[in-house]
Amino acid sequence: MTHDTTTLAHGRRSLLKKIGAGGTGLALSAAAAAAAPRLPAPSAIDTGSVQNGKVVFPAWRGEADAPSAPTPAPLPPEQRVGYAIVGLGRLALEEILPAFGESGQARPVALVSGSPEKMATVAKQYGIKPESCYSYADFDKLRDNPEVKAVYIVLPNGMHREYVERAAAAGKHVLCEKPLATSSADARAMIAACDRAGVQLMVAYRIHYQPHNRRVRQFVQEKTFGRLVGYTAVNTQTTALNAAEQWRHKKALAGGGSLPDIGLYCLNTARFITGQEPVEVYAHVFSPPGDARYAEVEETVNFSLRFPSGLVVQCLASYGAREDKWQRFELETASIDMPSAYEYQGQRLLIGQRQGDTKGQTELTLPPKNQFAAELDHFAECVTRNRKSDTPGEEGLRDHLLMEAIYRSAATGQPVKMKPA
């Protein structure tokens, strides 16, 4: 397409004239302003106000409508807690790094990877300085990077202990992916290392920061629908036939199969939602014979958790069934379905109740919130305010003790009693 420059110049002059800029523009604009109808000034309900550093708007919708969510109040970038991300695998690239865009208190400032090409690409994408990119051999140099306040370990489980301990020795607070370790002994050593170094250790149990799961927890603990009588949890997915070489199928790197990887969501969320500790576990594991993927770790685990209240939670985790991540609650006056309880997004909360003379189901709609961003912000706040996280290392240790009991039960065919937490 070609432009006629004379026409463009004329168009610009007439536009400037209309908006009152240049030449006689000021006079024109004053006249135009005088002729314009007077508009009412904005009211306080329109402008809102600043309260405690946050912009707040008064409600303008009627009582029948849900109020809008508060405006976000992100910290200026230089005041946010700087994170080093260790391990640039799928979770780090697909969920964690993008989640910083929705965080208000955290920012990525350093990367650690064994792949220089991948790291240089990711560093450019997220504006991370080349001098803040480290190999695993250089990891300990994080100590000298004052921008790094927290280190987020997103490596295979069998590497968590080494890098948590090295991060603590470098004087950095540590957020570690789940499961915390591959054994309760390693989990204890990691907690001790962080205590000795005077740094915080948090396990990335994202469900604790996910709104739908938090709401169900509130319903259960406040007995909104009476006593919790039954609870079923399922977390299944499938593995490609050629994936036997992946770290998830190697005992030393994974610690186990579907149990520590995805069954842990059923286990940890049951403890979170009920607010109780299991007093007994009973379990069965199964792997298809002769399948190379399950030479070292289990495919499927069924386990039940008996709680002091008498509640028994039934759980199933498997690498052998189509992806399905749900939990269901039976309460005295309602049943609650969460068809995508452990997904990264898309959680739903369906409450079944009697409605007059019929049975009905109501969906509770909660504002969407990125659970990874919520988790990053929670730890940033803990670091800034020097307060212990809601999911500290001890929370991860408890799950390792329970998973070890689950494997013991499966091996012996007997229920295993737990010592008090």
Which residues carry out catalysis? 178, 265
Helix (H), strand (E) at residue 56: strand 54-56
Q: What is the DSSP secondary structure assignment for residue 93, as one 8-state letter?
A: I
CA distance 114 to 119: 8
**Exposed/middle/buried for 136, CB within 10 Å: 0-12, 13-18, 19+?**
middle
- Closer to ligand NAD by Cβ: residue 72 or 114: 114
Residues in the chain: 421
- Closer to ligand NAD by Cβ: residue 268 or 304: 268
Minimum CB separation from ligand NAD for residue 68, in Å?
29
Q: Count CB-CB contacts under 10 A for residue 1.
A: 2
Phi, psi of 321 (to 5 degrees): -125, 150
Minimum CB separation from ligand NAD for residue 133, in Å?
14
- Closer to ligand NAD by Cβ: residue 181 or 311: 181
Contacting range for ligand NAD; rule: CB under 6 A; set: 154-162, 237-245, 333-341, 361-369: 154-162
Contact letters (x/-) for ligand NAD, 218-247, by CB under 6 A?
-----------------------------x
Minimum CB separation from ligand NAD for residue 284, in Å?
23
Nearest to 87 by CA among 96, 78, 99, 98: 96
114 is an interface residue for ligand NAD by CB under 6 A: yes
99 is an interface residue for ligand NAD by CB under 6 A: no
87 is an interface residue for ligand NAD by CB under 6 A: yes
User: What is the three-state SS of 370-386?
Assistant: CHHHHHHHHHHHHHHHC
Nearest to 370 by CA among 154, 103, 94, 107: 103
88 is an interface residue for ligand NAD by CB under 6 A: yes
Nearest to 201 by CA among 228, 227, 241, 163: 163
325 is an interface residue for ligand NAD by CB under 6 A: no
Q: Please enumerate in sequence order all residues whose Cβ is within 8 A of that of 175, keeping only pairs 6 or more positions apart, or say none.
A: 83, 150, 151, 152, 153, 202, 204, 375, 376, 379
Contact letters (x/-) for ligand NAD, 163-202, by CB under 6 A?
--------------xx------------------------
Binder among 145, 157, 318, 389 for ligand NAD (CB under 6 A): 157
91 is an interface residue for ligand NAD by CB under 6 A: yes
112 is an interface residue for ligand NAD by CB under 6 A: no
- Closer to ligand NAD by Cβ: residue 204 or 402: 204
Task: Supply 341's token pair.
Answer: 């309880």
Minimum CB separation from ligand NAD for residue 89, in Å?
2
- Closer to ligand NAD by Cβ: residue 331 or 406: 406
Could you list the residues that contact ligand NAD (CB under 6 A)? Answer: 87-92, 114, 154-157, 177-178, 204, 206, 247, 253, 261
